Amino acid sequence: MTAAEVKQVARSLGFDLVGVARAEPAPEAAFYPEWLRRGYHGAMGYLEGRRGEMRSDPRTLLKAARSIVCVGQVYNAAAPYSTDPSTQGRGWVARYAWGEDYHLALKNKLYELVGAMRERAGEFRFKVCVDTSPLLERAHAHQAGLGWIGRNTCLINEGLGSWVFLGAVLVSLELEPDGPAPFRCGSCTRCIDACPTDALIPLAPGEGPSHALDSRRCISYQTIERRGAIPAEEREGLGRHVFGCDICQDVCPWNRPERAAVSRVPEYAPDGAGPNPAELDLAEAASLTQEEFEERFAHSPIERTRYQGFLRNVCVAMGNLGDESFRAPLERLAESEDPVVREHAAWALTKLATRERC
Catalytically active residues are: 131
Dihedral pair phi/psi, residue 223, rounded to 5°: -90, -15
Q: Using CA atoms, how far apart are residues 143 and 69, in angstroms rounded to an integer?
A: 11
Do the Cβ atoms of 218 and 197 come closer than 8 Å?
yes
Contact 344, 230 (CB under 8 A): yes
DSSP 338: S
In whole angstroms, give the CA distance from residue 73 to residue 265: 8
Q: How far is it, in rounded angstroms, from Cα 223 to Cα 234?
A: 11
Residue 279: phi and psi, rounded to 5, are -80, 105
The DSSP bridge partners found for residue 93 are 243
Nearest 5°: the CA angle 177, 181, 186 is 170
Q: What share of the chain is helix, strand, coil (3-state, %, to 5)?
A: 45, 15, 40
Buried b (16+ CB within 10 A) or exposed e, 313-326: bbbbbbbbbeeeeb
Beta strands in 198-348 (DSSP E): 200-202, 211-213, 241-243, 279-280
CA distances from 253 to 76, 208, 260, 355 (A): 15, 23, 10, 36
Best CA proximity match to 70, nearest among 209, 150, 170, 181: 170
